[in-house]
């Protein structure tokens, strides 16, 4: 079973936010909130962050 931690949220202005589904807060990469993104960029980031999260939980991250 895949356990994702991050998802997308469309904002009223038409941009996208990558958010942590556990906290509801925007994801941060290098201390920068991932808000105001284009859909393709946000979707790719969600995939990457979820992959890294799954690897960390399985102990296979380096």
* 2 vs 37: CA distance, rounded Å: 25
Q: Is 18 exposed, middle or buried (0-12, 13-18, 19+ CB in 10 A)?
A: buried
Residue 46: how many CB atoms within 10 A of its CB? 21
The whole-model pTM stands at: 0.87
pLDDT tens-place string over residues 8-60: 999 999 999 999 999 999 999 999 999 999 999 999 999 999 999 999 988 86
């Amino acid at each position: 079973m895949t356990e994702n931690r991050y998802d997308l949220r469309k904002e009223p202005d038409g941009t996208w936010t990558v958010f942590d589904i556990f906290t509801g807060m925007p994801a941060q990469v290098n201390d920068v909130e991932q808000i105001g993104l284009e859909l393709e960029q946000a979707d790719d980031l969600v995939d990457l962050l979820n992959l890294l999260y799954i690897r960390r939980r399985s102990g296979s991250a380096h």
